[in-house]
Structure 1
């Protein structure tokens, strides 16, 4: 208990670190800006980026210098063009180099005081007027045509950094993917991230005072706040100089996460020191590496035209009645036990489950106790609904009997969301009746981390009662269809029927041979015409949507388009977030189609749903896609099946978001064999070598992502590793880090997350190690395991 009090006091002391920026508010603006840049990916590479770098050096920095010298040159805040702001952003993320460049060319650090982001909706007219007066031949907004046809040579400028900004930009491009999930913008998540960042700095401060050389490596939540702090160059410099006597480096150029290298040992050391100092787990749900940024389906913004909303979209919403499910991601570890009788020491394990099994988690699974186990070290990562309690039962492996049970309520922390990490001692209630007033009951120390509740994808399955059509009715050239005599039932994950579908001849007075309809029949007998085929395309939901083949489908291009008030295209295979993140694919890609939404917010496409043609299922990430998605899946599955696809619909569909347990052991497995195997329960166990730098479900198990952001620790330099977030493709670890994979089993397609959750060798944000497999939780041991950790 004395040790726990000391660790609590250390945490309180860490929170006293003074930071002169409201990092919570600034992080929200930071996320908004990164999203805007990601919608303009021409800023990531090529001639447009080169032009942006030229404009940054030739126009923006000189203008900023004039403004910071005398703000009277422009009334109101200064607003940089988006391209210049992005290059400026990446330059500041090397704070030592940015400070040096500014002082060399302008005699002082050029700060963002009085500067407002171009994406915050503020008027930029005054800045644009000033720009035109100072630079009459250069447009304020980047002219892309000129950028491509007239690249400039920055070496011709008198004041120009020789820092490789092209490489700096490329290292930062993957960062947004790692921090773009809905829960990251949650107030409690960000508030906890700020607190963890202060604790991160506190470790660095302590190490410097004690002459301890440790290369510190953050998780992605910490990394986001660290980046945010650096964007306020003067405040960051002053705060860190006051704290440790110098500006803390953030060099994101080192990406070698292999075993024994700086990133690998740094993350292990950071994890061990964090848990020893604060008595808290370093891993955090929702802060681990998601894996490599998915490959884009297009490389230039999609041009589309959508129908204006008629305000009648609600008319068909009542057709499908299904339960909307909320989900949380959970990382769970049993980190200690006390008052255990000597006869049972080293011979116990814990079985955990939920008191209210749900559609995402309905299993019992076994976990070792980290302080007791001398073999496999386990941490579970899974998804569940935010209701009920997590139940724990202590079992004796020698006598196969229960020694007691306890539980932890989820709603207590999530309604409303008050805290997202819990680590506490839970007393066990004896299983057998008898003496219950033991003054020293057996207790388990349980560590749980979870994300705020978010909408879980809706998964519906198409089950055919009888053989379907032999011929397709989609297009004339595919042959005329024969009228189907049977219905296809649409059922939810509880096998409850929500509607039945059938393709039939049109009910027109004089129907044409190639006119067909999709009708839906509910159990109460209500019948709806959900789609009609006129010989060239399908009109869905009273012409609110249309489904047709693309004019020129190619191997890598879309095969079908679903257009209405939104534009959705269907690509063969698993794309974007559904992309398999491993080498061996046991499920054929031809069995899947990805629905990709294109919009102003997602000009390069966002995965909106997944069709599993083999198992006859559709997963819809948003409510608006459920009904048109089901109708489209029904039509497409019939069409494609009759072109050579086979459908087996008597098997439950497992989504990419399956639950898992990751186990750390000294046994190396060929990780690919763990992937894409149909799961029979929501949680699975996998074992993999604790290998700092592991690439989460990669055969070699060594990190290969491009991660970066570190800090030098030699010669008085402190280093804090850059990582995944900071430039690394992997962030927290090769492919793992935060994907849904980690050291766990099939994650539906390889989402990655398991590693030591927290950070695999990369696991987290800036250089968090390579990637990992689940967590090993004994300070040093845990740290090494966390090197291989993954979390979502």
Structure 2
């Protein structure tokens, strides 16, 4: 208790740090500006960047210096957009910026009399001054025109600021926007603009400065690394050069350097060890967790579809979607939050207690994202930092169960005993949002019913993002095998499933609509290749509605609201279909943008997928709004208005594109596998009349898909759903050839994944349907996890060797096991947990993929 009191006092002391800028309001302005820059990505590299640097040095800084010396206009200067971006990056090296300004102009040039170009402020006076001073240089730079010009000769004579490499500075800062706000990813990052999130970030920034101050007082030289919420506020502070220098000098006695040069996130490197050290110091100093939902590293940004944005004259006027869509399908609103959970400590254990402790957590109201018990170790007991990162609906309660496990000499599982239970209500924090971070002691209700004078308590740390609309995950199910095919779309290789019904079901397995392809003129004329066709739908109420008609150029959807048209192109990477109408929607082959496969995600052919991308003035480089998996029938839609068009498009495309010798939506009895009495369609859709709850097909897609999955970050393991870990040695985690824990092709050989805690080593195959292969000492070593050549994780004969924690040397069937392989197996340890329930992993804590790319040595 005394230590906790000291930690509380340290936090209160940190909050006394004075900041002379309204950082919450300024952070919102910064985010608005960064969003505008991201719509003009030519400023990240190439001729437009070079021209912007020239204008910044030759025009903007001299103009700002004149205005700083003696106000040359009434009111504020409005900085040109391209110059503002270079100025932004220059100021984010505060020591270099201060030095450059003083050498060139005798003082630090501040932003106190300047307004951002994106604030919509009247700029006529600034433009008039600019044109008078620089008659040959336009105030507003035409970025599109600059890309096509060769201005290298014009720019070569500039000497100012040559000591600081502004091109490299821009390159380092370009990815920052994706990390803090994203580009319309699976879960919207709108929480970053929220006052509660930003106010908590400001408080954490003060804590960050306090740590650096303590290190300086103790002469400790430490590379201090922020999380992204802290870094956002740190950037915001630096963008006010005079205030920043003054504020941090009061705290630290000097200007705090902002070191963004180090980019290597590899385990054991400077950034990794700096972040782990910062985490440890933060938690010991303040008694609060450092990791926070919505503030961690998100990985590399997806590849762009184009380097040239669509200009506004190519984008059709945005209109309100027709209410006809809402009349046909009625999906209940589905919201989701990201959660970061850690069990910090336990106290008041019974005297003489023996056995290991862990906590099982679940939801009182299981939902489509989170519906199984998860296991977490307790930091104070295991000394291993294990953090659960998952998504769930913002409803109900989180339930916690403290379990004591006593080992047994008998070669079977030891005895486990529930010592008490407790709960946390999500509504208390999220409806309405009052806090996004909570850490406190919670008393347990003893399972025996007897209440002691001091109940056992758990210290639970939990953080959330704001509730946002979730990506809808729908599934098409064929009513019966398709009948005779005929060509009905004016391109080669296209086939029809005549008279076959497709049911579309949502995440809860409720039917949304039924679809059928019909001959719109004469149903008996099935042999005609020119016969017009029609897609009809039957709503839940039983009403029959026409949804699409075949026309000369393609398919007209929903009373001509849009038209699905084939685009003839020789480029395999470019879009092949287009929805022409009120919005510009292009359908690309493969998984693009947000849906781009991550790391060692299952190596399925990209021919199975199509991505719908919307281009607009708001998203000139395109935003992914839906993914169509034409092989499994899964449809993921991020925009509510696009749900019905996505369903119709997927149905048409699945009926017209026959590739790779498989029938996209036809039920295939040979691919139906019985697992614990349930039927799973691995490579096809479920046939009407076959009794199934689709546990591992729909639920895998809806609950355990990519970023939407429940996962536990621990030991050497990567994401429990999207894992590409590698490494031998202690805590190797999901090493070697382990792929995605739900969808993995896996590969490996030699000593892949070897070492203590080797995890899923070597040749682990697809965790759902695997051919599994491996060789050498694949997965070997103490705690080898799924070693050797793992077989099918649903129904597997499994084989492997090594002294394996986890499922022995060779993993057997993870759902219905045919036995584990040889070796000393100790439960699902090492790197392997329950593939659906994301059980724990052993090994040392890892900080990979959680590290910011900017830090400070103080």
TM-score (norm 2): 0.78
Question: How far apart are residue 462 of structure 1 and its match?
Answer: 0.8
CA change 1:467–1:508 in 2 (3 A) is closer
Q: How does 1:284-295 map to 2 (within 5 A)?
A: 284-295=292-303
* Alpha-carbon offset, residue 642 of structure 1: 5.7
Aligned counterpart, 1:358: 367
1:424 aligns with 2:440: yes
Aligned residue runs from structure 1 range 537-556, under 5 A = 537-552=554-569, 554-556=571-573
Q: How far apart are the structure 1 equivalents of 2:549 and 2:562?
A: 11
Find 1:649's aligned residue among 674, 682, 685: 685
Q: Which residue of structure 1 aligns with residue 428 of structure 2?
A: 412
Flag the 1:344–1:613 CA change in 2: closer, same or farther, 3 A. farther
Query: Is 1:69 the counterpart of 2:77 in the alignment?
Result: no
Q: Which runs of 5+ in 1 are unaligned?
A: 680-685, 692-696, 698-742, 749-753, 770-792
* Equivalent of 2:515 in 497, 501, 512: 501
1:299 pairs with 2:307: yes
Aligned to 2:731: 667
Aligned to 1:30: 30
Q: Would you say 1:514 and 2:543 are equivalent positions?
A: no
Deviation for aligned residue 1:110: 0.5
Q: Distance in 2 between matches of 1:305 and 1:623?
A: 24
Correspondence for 1:81:
80
Residue 70 of structure 1, CA deviation? 1.5
Partner of 2:591: 574
Q: Residue in 1 aligned with 2:631?
A: 614
- Could you tell me whether the CA contact under 8 Å between 1:662 and 1:687 is conserved in 2? no
Question: 1:4 Cα deviation (Å)?
Answer: 1.0
Deviations 1:389-416 (A, max 9, x none): 1100111212312111001111111111
Distance 1:275 1:405 in 2: 26
Which residue in 2 is equivalent to 1:326?
335
> SS of the residue aligned with 2:47?
helix
Residues 226 and 852 of structure 2 are in contact (CA less than 8 Å); yes or no, is this contact kept in structure 1?
yes
SS at match of 1:10: helix
Shift of 1:159: 3.4
Query: Taking structure 1 as reference, are residues 584 and 306 closer, same or farther at Cα in structure 2, changes over 3 Å only?
Result: closer
Distance 1:316-1:257 versus aligned 2 partners, 3 A rule: closer
Determine helix, strand or coil for the equivalent of 1:498: strand
> SS at the partner of 1:251?
coil
SS in structure 2 opposite 1:548? strand
* CA deviation vs aligned residue, 1:137-175 (integer Å, no higher than 9, x gap): 111112443563222565623533421000110111111
Match of 1:171 in 2: 172
CA contact under 8 A between 1:325 and 1:385: conserved in structure 2? yes
Tell whether 2:834 aligns with 1:763.
no
Paired residue secondary structure (2:229): helix
1:113 aligns with 2:112: yes
- Deviation of the 1:25 alpha carbon: 0.2
Give matches, 1:617-632, under 5 Å. 617-632=634-649
Offset at residue 429 of structure 1 (A)? 0.5
3-state SS in 1 of match to 2:548: strand
The farther-off stretch of 445-454 and 255-264 is: 255-264
**Other-structure match for 1:232:** 240
Give the Cα separation in 1 of the matches to 2:106 and 2:564: 61
Q: Deviations over 1:311-331 (max 9, x none)?
A: 561122221111221101111
1:183 partnered with 2:191: yes
Matches within 5 A, 1:709-748: none
CA distance in 1, matches of 2:575, 2:95: 46
1:329-374 Cα shifts (integer Å, max 9, x gaps): 1111111001112443442211110011111111011111111126
With over 3 angstroms needed to count, the CA separation of the structure-2 counterparts of 1:558 and 1:522, relative to structure 1, is same
Structure 1: how far apart are the matches of 2:743 and 2:321? 40
In structure 2, relative to structure 1, the CA distance for the partners of 1:484 and 1:258 (3 Å cut) is closer
Match of 2:378 in 1: 369
Q: Which stretch shows the higher mean deviation, 87-96 or 552-561?
A: 552-561
Q: In structure 2, do the counterparts of structure 1 residues 2 and 483 end up closer, same or farther at CA, with 3 Å as the change threshold?
A: closer
| 8 Å contact from structure 1 (residues 203, 274) kept in 2 | yes
Distance 1:142 1:470, change over 3 A: farther
User: Could you state the TM-score of these two structures normalised by the residue count of structure 1?
Assistant: 0.84
Q: Superposed, which structure 2 residues align to 1:55-454 within 5 Å?
A: 55-71=55-71, 73-144=72-143, 145-146=145-146, 148-152=149-153, 156-157=157-158, 159-180=160-181, 181-303=189-311, 305=314, 307-308=316-317, 313-373=322-382, 377-398=385-406, 399-433=415-449, 435-436=450-451, 438-454=452-468
Aligned pairs for 1:692-703 (under 5 A) are none
Q: Please name the residue that 2:824 is paired with.
A: none
Give the number of the structure with larger relative contact order, counting CA–CA contacts within 8 Å between residues 6 or more apart.
1
CA distance in 1, matches of 2:21, 2:46: 34
Distance 1:766 1:97 in 2: 19
Matched residues in 2 for 1:154 and 1:405: separation?
69
Retained in 2: the 8 A contact 1:267–1:762? Answer: no
**SS in structure 1 of the partner of residue 379 of structure 2:** coil
- 1:50 to 1:479, Cα distance in 2 relative to 1, 3 A: closer
Q: CA deviation at 1:672?
A: 5.1
The alpha-carbon distance between structure 1 residues 404 and 553, as it changes in their structure 2 partners (threshold 3 A), is farther
Q: Contact between 1:306 and 1:564, CA under 8 Å: does it hold in 2?
A: no
Cα 1:462–1:444 change in 2 (3 A) is: same
Superposition RMSD on alpha carbons, in Å? Answer: 2.9
Instruction: Give the direction of change, closer, same or farther, for the CA distance of 1:690–1:764 in structure 2 (3 Å limit).
Output: farther
Partner in structure 1 of residue 12 of structure 2: 12
Distance 1:185 1:97 in 2: 29
SS in 2 for 1:460: strand
- The answer on whether the counterparts of 1:308 and 1:565 sit within 8 Å (CA) in structure 2 is yes
For residues 629 and 111 of structure 1, do their structure 2 counterparts lie closer, same or farther at Cα, with a shift above 3 Å needed? same
Match of 2:546 in 1: 529
CA deviations on 1:92-130 (whole Å, 9 max, x unpaired) are 010000000000000000011111111111122221111
1:242 Cα offset (Å): 1.3
Cα deviations across residues 427-484 of structure 1 (Å, max 9, x unaligned)? Answer: 1101123x22x11111111111111111111111111011235536552233786672
| Partner Cα distance (1:310, 1:382) in 2 | 36
- Call closer, same or farther: CA 1:758–1:218 in 2, change over 3 Å: farther
Residue of structure 2 equivalent to 1:783: none
- In 1: Cα distance, 2:319 partner to 2:392 partner: 37
Indicate if the aligned counterparts of 2:315 and 2:615 stay in contact, CA closer than 8 A: no
Alpha carbons 2:757, 2:842 under 8 Å: kept: no
Q: 1:153 to 1:245 in 2, by over 3 A?
A: farther
CA contact (8 A) 2:514 2:537 kept: yes
Mean Cα deviation higher: 563-572 or 330-339 = 563-572
Larger Rg: 2
Question: How many residues are paired up?
Answer: 704
Partner Cα separation in structure 2 for residue 419 and residue 483 of structure 1: 52
Whole-angstrom CA distance in 1 between matches of 2:500 and 2:652: 15
Conservation of the 8 A alpha-carbon contact between 1:755 and 1:763? no
* Secondary structure of the structure 1 residue equivalent to 2:200: helix
2:301 aligned counterpart, secondary structure: coil
